[in-house]
Amino acid sequence: MKLNFRSMKSKLILLLALLSFVPIGAFAQSVTVKGTVLDGTGETVIGATVVEKGNSSNGVTTNLDGQFTLTLPKGKKLVVSYVGMETQEVDAVVGKDLKIVLKDDSQALEEVVVIGYGGSKARKDLTGSVGSISGAKLAAVPVTSAAVALQGKIAGVQVTTVDGAPGADINIRVRGGTSVTQSNDPLYIVDGFQTDNINDIPPSDIASIDVLKDASLTAIYGAKGGNGVVIVTTKSAKEGKVQVSLNAQMSVSKLAKKLDLMNSYDFVDYQYDFASAGGNRSTEAKFFRANFGNPQDLDIYRRATTHDWQDEVMGETPLNYSTNVNIGGGSDKYRFNISLTQSEDKGIIMGSGVRRTNLNVKLYTQLTKKLSLQLNPKVSYRRDTGAGGDKIGSGGIIDVLRYRPTNGLREFAFWDPATVDPDDEAIFEYTNPKNDIKENTLKKHSYSYTNQLALEWKPIDGLVLRTEAVHAMSFTDENRFYGAMTDDGQKQNKLPIASIKDKRTEKYTWTNTASYGFDISKLHNFSFLLGQEIQTKQTKETFMKNRYFPRYITADKALNNMNLGRPWENTTSLSTPERTASFFGQANYNYDHKYLVSVTMRADGSTKFAPGEQWGYFPAVSGAWVLSREGFLENNEIISNLKLRAAIGLAGNNRIDDDMWRYLYTVNSTSGPAFGEATENGEQWYGIGDGKTYPNTKIKWETTLTRNVAFDLGLFNDRLTITPEFYWNTTKDLLYTSDVPTVSGYTKQMRNIGQVTNKGLELSISGDILRGKDYVLSGNFTFGLNKMVVDKLNDTDDVIWDQNDRWKSSYNDYCLRVGDQLGLIYGFVYDGIYSIDEFNFDPNQNFLAIPKEGTVINTVFSNSTSGEPTLPGKIKFKDLNNDGVIDENDRTVIGNTNPKFQGGFGFNGQWKNLDFTINFNYMYDFDVNNATAYQLSSAEGNNKKFYNVLSKFKDSWHYFNPVDGDNYYKNYWVDNTVDVYRAANANVTLWNPTDVTNKVTHSYFIEDGSFLRCQDITIGYTLPSQLTKKWGMSKVRFYASASNLFIITGYSGYDPEVDVQTGLTCGMDYNRYPRSRSFVLGTNITF
């Protein structure tokens, strides 16, 4: 025993001695692996990425022969990937040349889409309609928001921006919407939580966007999903080494298009036409001479400076930026992902812009083997400056465009203040719209905090119990200042006004779900979901408005010293809590992924309605048949996938104001003592609600029956995919604010009226056009056609008229009419201008033009400086009822604001390390009311303000002779005056803007808005990994991009994509912020 111990001791000493000579690195037991990557045809793949699993910084790319060599720790696996092919994991085997065959990517079928309440489903098992965009596609193209990234990408999903302002509202319509006058916005779900929009979500944070389009999928969300559901999933915590990525970009923007306005000479020439049309000795003519000089000397303005206010005010070329830093990693027990984004988007109009900061944190903890905890706190900040297109300066963009290009004689001389009328001089005081912008300012700050907590327990295989709570708070302060020269200031003794509004909103949601899935013999697959949810939202608002500030006070000084003004309005309000209680369930079954069926049921109770009407019930059922798995199509060389889908279901809408069913009492904004008492001006201190809305206890859910039939077709191993879909939606019990007899003491009431039908066709096509060893070119195309028709209204009316508040003409221009589409524009049909031959000229009345018998008499225009509306050179309309008079009865449909069809297409590709993307979107055959052009073709409000007009009117009808300054019309002291008048205006086809002094909608300004837009084009280059690995970086990509590069359209305004299908009174282009063209340089770096 003693001998054996000594022998063992000797062996241990010898072993330790040997080990002391072994390099330390040998303990790591690294191995070197060699291999070749091939495609399905046996060809080598050049540029394939081969990395160590879990350590993306250790990797190489295959050479020209498809070969690679990689050293990695023993026991680790290789991850091999290439564009357009399936990623594979293989064991790192030493001693033999590995042959790795990559298959063509058929991921479209295996792709997982999010369908709600934490659930997801492989696309091959879907029975409903879903459109998706991956985060990788979003990352390839720099866009300002997630909503913009959807434009033209998904069939049946229309994405439009209200105008070109930074941070402008973005309207998303899924299959045209379902409601007539209430909101048609879809439901937005971000990481399981409902939000108002997705405009401020940084695209770099997004993992995927899924759009649920039919009731078989949206029914699980009940009423709020009636207009479709947009589900955004942000990047989650992932297991593995900590990775840091940086996405940074800088851009410059400029005005995409300018309107052609009169120069100084043409402007002064036109203004004398306005002044002298009623006689060259009129009050207007004398005022013109005093400020612009003798009409015989107008040639001096040919050499005068023309102030181009479009350049001065909208010609900014701001430098903008966006930076995102993302850190993520962890173990199987604990994972985290933190994303911080900072961006600034300055507008092309001075003083406008948006600055955003977003922090998104995701934490995952595996508490036990079956219990996990997820936390997702988010913080965001947004600052808006600028009052918007309709609030720039004293009257909006239209006033910038109409601003006089010259200040008349003041450009050449100095006026002694003692010799001028101060009221007249005030007209010329603000000679620069850039200064005028300071007269009307807005600064808005928004802060929001959201915390989401989810606890998930899996007690047995297939069963998941989940409870999720979300609490959100948002704070907004809005500071407004109206200078003395604004319309508001002019109404308050020509002194400034300032207001401060603070708003706080608190929301919480608590959701509990139980899901269970299992299969029988791997053929019969079942899944079930049961859930319950409660939601609450409440808003508190404080408003203070003071007036009569010192005339020349600045905006900042007024808003920081509100006591310098006189108190005017002061209110505090707390909204009625908006509460919803819901119960829902879903059952899914498929047989061998060949025959599929899904049944959904949800019940929603809402405080929007009176007791007895609060609950709505929304069932849905859908099914699918995968024909390509049948014997007669299985293993078909051409058809790789063919699935028939059909769905039917109910959806609801309760998006109306609170308390439409009960009486409310309010305090007047000027405050006061007791109910029934009044101020010295007769204003009631207390009132009943808004004093206009009559309660209705019978209002109930607006409901929509949706039907959907579709094919999913994959060809050539899904290299080409085609999906045509047809849908038919019927909405009844429309929620509409109806007029009521004023004898009731009220003017309106919320009611359920009528029914509309919405039918449409969608088509999606995508595929790989070219594919080779080191290149791929892919394309996609979407097409959508939608038509909504009014089936019936209430029991007494066939038509309900309405008007756009942005630009109000003399008549209601929109209506709901049984049998018609929504969004039809009614007005007069333009029929040119009156000719001299349609009149007799009475020599006894200074050759006054008197209409001949048969000349149609215009009664809809107001008088101008030249006289009555029916005169030579003035606008003429068609007499549709042949009564000889133009009046309201001669109006007809002159425009349809609904696109006949719309969609988008694009191409993306890669050649070695070079990549590119180009996207287009289009809309065809829809009309826009170009009210901006109308104002720039009129003299409304021109008296003593001298507004500019479009340059084309330099060749319009003329009333004076520029040679001697005498009138053509009613010039009784000149021989053959009528013939001279006729000769001066021979071949003239345009009216003189001086003759248009009120707003009348007519067909001349209803323009076709059809367009094809190059939405963006991006070219990127990824540096070779062999190079970046030396710098400690796994990926470095640089790119250049241009957005809104060009647009092909016949529309004469800034841009036709304004106010598209936003409601009953849409398609109005007036005071809209122009769109810009942007150029971007950026980088994506992963450490």
52: domain CATH number? 2.60.40.1120
Neighbours of 461 (CB within 10 A): 8
The pLDDT score that the predictor gives to residue 633 is 85
pLDDT at 611 over 70: yes
d(CA 804, CA 784) in angstroms, rounded, equals 27
The pLDDT score that the predictor gives to residue 15 is 40
pLDDT band at 26 (very low <50, low <70, confident <90, very high): very low
pLDDT band at 1 (very low <50, low <70, confident <90, very high): very low
* 100 shares its domain with 173: no
pLDDT band at 431 (very low <50, low <70, confident <90, very high): low
* 73 shares its domain with 142: no
138 part of a folded domain: yes
412 part of a folded domain: no
pLDDT at 259 over 60: yes
Structure tokens at 894: 């002159």
The pLDDT score that the predictor gives to residue 686 is 58
pLDDT at 29 over 50: yes
Domain stops at, among 216, 241, 266: 241
pLDDT band at 593 (very low <50, low <70, confident <90, very high): confident
* 157 shares its domain with 184: yes
The pLDDT score that the predictor gives to residue 179 is 65
Domain stops at, among 39, 73, 105: 105
The pLDDT score that the predictor gives to residue 71 is 86
d(CA 290, CA 200) in angstroms, rounded, equals 53
Scanning the structure block, which residue is given the tokens 């109006």? Answer: 891
Contact predicate 293/311, CB 8 Å: no
Per-residue pLDDT of 533-547, as tens digits, reads 999 999 999 999 999
d(CA 132, CA 111) in angstroms, rounded, equals 10
201 part of a folded domain: yes
Is pLDDT larger for residue 257 or for residue 172?
257
pLDDT at 6 over 50: no
Who contacts 804 (Cβ-Cβ below 8 Å, separation ≥6)? 813, 814, 929, 1065, 1066, 1068
d(CA 589, CA 612) in angstroms, rounded, equals 35
| Residue among 540, 731, 574 nearest 659 (CA) | 574
The pLDDT score that the predictor gives to residue 645 is 92
* 72 shares its domain with 148: no
Per-residue pLDDT averaged across 593-597, rounded? 91
Per-residue pLDDT of 1018-1061, as tens digits, reads 999 988 877 887 887 878 889 999 999 999 999 999 999 888 87
Per-residue pLDDT averaged across 913-936, rounded? 93
Contact predicate 541/502, CB 8 Å: yes
* 70 shares its domain with 167: no
Q: Residue 85 gets which letter from DSSP?
A: B
pLDDT at 555 over 80: yes
d(CA 1017, CA 997) in angstroms, rounded, equals 45
What is the rounded average pLDDT for all residues in the chain? 83
* 123 shares its domain with 80: no
Q: Residue 86 gets which letter from DSSP?
A: -
User: Judging by DSSP bridges, how do beta strands 885-886 and 857-858 pair with one another?
Assistant: parallel
Neighbours of 999 (CB within 10 A): 17
The pLDDT score that the predictor gives to residue 870 is 93
pLDDT at 20 over 50: no
The pLDDT score that the predictor gives to residue 491 is 86
* 95 shares its domain with 132: no
pLDDT band at 857 (very low <50, low <70, confident <90, very high): very high
pLDDT band at 14 (very low <50, low <70, confident <90, very high): very low
956 part of a folded domain: no
Q: Which domain holds residue 74?
A: 29-105
* 99 shares its domain with 112: no
* 88 shares its domain with 167: no
The pLDDT score that the predictor gives to residue 109 is 44
pLDDT band at 981 (very low <50, low <70, confident <90, very high): confident
The pLDDT score that the predictor gives to residue 920 is 93
Which among 56-60, 232-236, 419-423, 934-938 has the top mean pLDDT?
A: 934-938
Contact predicate 279/970, CB 8 Å: yes
Per-residue pLDDT of 560-571, as tens digits, reads 999 999 998 888
The pLDDT score that the predictor gives to residue 1030 is 80
Per-residue pLDDT of 707-738, as tens digits, reads 999 999 989 888 899 999 999 999 888 887 77
136 part of a folded domain: yes
Structure tokens at 736: 């509409």
pLDDT at 170 over 90: no
Q: Residue 1073 gets which letter from DSSP?
A: P
Scanning the structure block, which residue is given the tokens 């990824």? Answer: 1022
Helices (H) and strands (E) in the chain, counts: 16, 53
The pLDDT score that the predictor gives to residue 976 is 80
The pLDDT score that the predictor gives to residue 1000 is 94
Per-residue pLDDT averaged across 519-543, rounded? 92
The pLDDT score that the predictor gives to residue 688 is 61
Q: Within 13 A of 43's CA, how many CA atoms are on the CB side?
A: 9
pLDDT band at 421 (very low <50, low <70, confident <90, very high): low
The pLDDT score that the predictor gives to residue 683 is 56
Who contacts 486 (Cβ-Cβ below 8 Å, separation ≥6)? 393, 394, 395, 439, 440
User: Judging by DSSP bridges, how do beta strands 686-688 and 615-626 pair with one another?
Assistant: unpaired
Per-residue pLDDT of 181-202, as tens digits, reads 666 778 888 877 777 777 777 7
81 part of a folded domain: yes
Q: Per mean pLDDT, which range of 197-206, 779-788, 876-885, 932-941 is the poorest?
A: 197-206
Q: Per mean pLDDT, which range of 364-378, 625-639, 687-701, 935-949 is the poorest?
A: 687-701
Q: Per mean pLDDT, which range of 386-390, 394-398, 580-584, 635-639 is the poorest?
A: 386-390
* 96 shares its domain with 55: yes
User: Judging by DSSP bridges, how do beta strands 463-482 and 497-520 pair with one another?
Assistant: antiparallel
d(CA 1056, CA 931) in angstroms, rounded, equals 12
Exposed e or buried b per residue across 372-395, where buried means at least 16 C-beta atoms within 10 angstroms of its C-beta: bebebebebbbbbbbbbbbbbbbb
Q: Per mean pLDDT, which range of 325-329, 386-390, 985-989 is the poorest?
A: 386-390
Per-residue pLDDT averaged across 293-317, rounded? 88
Per-residue pLDDT averaged across 1072-1085, rounded? 89
* 149 shares its domain with 94: no
The pLDDT score that the predictor gives to residue 484 is 84
How many structural domains compose the chain? 2
Is pLDDT larger for residue 859 or for residue 980?
859
pLDDT at 829 over 50: yes
d(CA 1053, CA 1073) in angstroms, rounded, equals 12
pLDDT band at 689 (very low <50, low <70, confident <90, very high): low
Q: Per mean pLDDT, which range of 91-95, 342-346, 475-479, 668-672 is the poorest?
A: 668-672
Per-residue pLDDT averaged across 355-362, rounded? 91
| Count of residues in the chain | 1087
Domain stops at, among 213, 241, 269: 241
d(CA 536, CA 506) in angstroms, rounded, equals 8
1034 part of a folded domain: no
Contact predicate 438/354, CB 8 Å: no
* 130 shares its domain with 223: yes
pLDDT band at 930 (very low <50, low <70, confident <90, very high): very high
For the chain, give the percent of residues with pLDDT over 90: 35
Contact predicate 341/202, CB 8 Å: yes
We report the CATH number of the domain holding residue 157 as 2.170.130.10
193 part of a folded domain: yes
The pLDDT score that the predictor gives to residue 13 is 45
d(CA 928, CA 950) in angstroms, rounded, equals 18
The pLDDT score that the predictor gives to residue 1052 is 94
